Chain A
């Protein structure tokens, strides 16, 4: 029982990070219908930016974090303004390929400038002390990361539901032409979507970097987030939240109980296996919208 509870607790923590990264992908998809394959790279560069301000430039932690955040905002703006906007009207596949190219570009640039060290470490701003509850031992770091992630995702759910920009983004996602007729600036919506996405990637990078250290392998987490996003239904933020937690927990439970039987790490396979199973039954994902075209 202790093992199962521990697996669930660890899975929830890691799953919450998947959700956070996944929300960034969903926000872009909701507004532009582009599946952003560069989210992992953006997360990695975000983690490096925070490290650059806090460690390289020696800034106080909170100022360093704000400096990184400002850069993330700028990065989102630049990607949309000088990259994606120029491709408006092009086939959607071209835009997706551009995100793949962006991922490769980020990977190369980060390696070029900062890849000469295996790991870079933040000053300790989230304490790693162990906390025991019901026989489950988590570090305070993990608990705080879980809470922060939940709060951030909660804020974004409210943002999309109640704020003017959030409602405009939903309108653009639903029908760009109709949204434009209503006086909504799609350009502004696209910029906001990319900025939100890079900010989420930045936050994910900082949280992940505080556990693992900052390295060029941080972008690997995106590999687990893609099935999470599809499982959640591509356009649903609550969906991606729940899907992230499900995948995280199942990964750890499979690690606990399947690995000894199979004799290999099943964690990397489990998200995709679940995805296939769910998509067979619900092709639009757990919370995806089933679109019906009336002729």
Chain B
């Protein structure tokens, strides 16, 4: 049980059972990383609203964050054949990722070394057996080496050393292809921190993209992603009893996590929430079991003396095992059910779960401080021995469109509408507030603070060099 009366800042927890208590007693126990908890108080100062609204701050991010941060550009299955490309845009920057040889993936700035023209027009997956600039026809091989210059006689000052495509750092982890535009960036592994160790238990390489939804959101990229970094909002935004006792972990500068339970909840954690909802009377085990109906499964009944959580986990093992053709018999109750969300600085999220199997990416929408692009991938396990199929094209949604329009999102459609429904209000509220910044909970919103602290390190280190 948590001690909610501890007065040290950041030490208090919601009343009632903790996530660790629940996981420790799960019928099918979790792998060791899910039993770890790592938290330290990081401060309680407000975060200035200007960080979300001010053009000057946004430009600092454009100069000092995005060109220096590792970020995933695509999945490896986007690059199955030699010549397959993926164009990743962030702010004013554009990067081409290409499978340049059977065993090699490279990345280049998407810019002609003659007069700067963008080489590949569209964003997303494509195919180019070589790169040819549409302006004067200069061309490069897939390894970036310059191949042909029309009117070569006029360019004696041009060589491989000076005019090959400008390389971008490119590394792979978990089936994702990451890029970093800073040639001096430290290796990706240093940023990934605990991720490789934790995800050994849930390899994302052996997942396929079942659905990719790309939506424009009406808020700064940080506000947009912060709507997904805590489950404190579940009660009000989702009208949901889950989330009050969510566990938050901060593993270092770059990686944090939350775990919130599905298939049970803590009525005590909602003790001082408004009204009587879900406490008087509490949700019954039978009502919790009804979650199965979102998958079209007849929930049946909870036998006397049992609880819903292991029954839901077992039913979903059968359901997803059959649907996906994978053996889930050894998967823990927590991984089967829970929302387990790892964040990687600055803008990426990875979920090891089966019921909640997502990856997210949030980035600025072009050079607009007030809007962002949210990429949502559903990554489902791939049967043993099966090769990755061709990934689906993204379903693109405008600001006013609803996630319920997306075929295949199922029960998640209305949930994402709720998650993103506050953003326009928040972005506008930032601007009208006399109070100069937002206030964060010491524990439940600590991941947001950690992200801002690391962002400050990027911005201040770069400014010190200038």
Decide whether A and B are members of one complex. no
| Chain A residues at the B interface, C-beta cutoff of 8 Å | none
